[in-house]
Amino acid sequence: MIGGHYTYAEVPLFDTLKELMGSSRNNYDKVGHFAQGFIPALIAREIILRNNIIKGAVWQSFFIVCFCLAFSALYELIEWWVALLIGEDAEAFLGTQGYIWDTQSDMGLALSGAIIGLLTLSKLHDKQLAKLKV
């Protein structure tokens, strides 16, 4: 719960990384957005395969990636609405740290997380599901 204790822009480890890498921003939120694609992809895949909802691996993967992007977009919209409601501290809440492409890069990381999750864990997931059917 590091992100719950600090604001995303002030996580100490990533402040240190920021200084070491000569970056102008703390990128802790980027880890969360990658996970925002990676974890739901595996959950969605589990539901789709166990319930035999979509036939064909290509269509399954396509739907899973689309689901993860929709989830990420909804999160970004909620962030924006909350920022509008709180007003003057919106910059601190959003954690954009002056980066105008923050929302787009967040969604890009969720996309990457979903694709990498599917590419790296699908075979292992299939083996585990096969053991359950025995």
107 part of a folded domain? yes
Q: Angle at CA 106, nearest 5°, toward 103 and 112?
A: 145
7 part of a folded domain? no
More confident residue, 24 or 55: 55
The mean pLDDT value for 34-41 works out to 96
Number of domains in the chain: 1
21 part of a folded domain? no
86 part of a folded domain? yes
16 part of a folded domain? no
> What percent of the chain is modeled with pLDDT above 70?
70
5 part of a folded domain? no
Look up the pTM and report it: 0.79
How far, in Å, CA of 78 to CA of 94, rounded? 10
Residue with tokens 């359950």: 132
Q: Is the pLDDT of residue 53 over 80?
A: yes
More confident residue, 32 or 47: 47
More confident residue, 19 or 54: 54
The mean pLDDT value for 1-9 works out to 60
3 part of a folded domain? no
Q: How many CA atoms lie within 13 Å of 95's alpha carbon, on the beta-carbon side?
A: 19
Which structure tokens are listed for 49?
């395969």
Domain, as residue range, for 105: 27-133
Q: Is the pLDDT of residue 74 over 70?
A: yes
Residue 2: per-residue pLDDT: 56
Q: In angstroms, what CA-CA distances link 70 with 33, 44, 66, 75, 114? A: 13, 12, 6, 9, 12
Residue 134: per-residue pLDDT: 60
The mean pLDDT value for 47-59 works out to 95
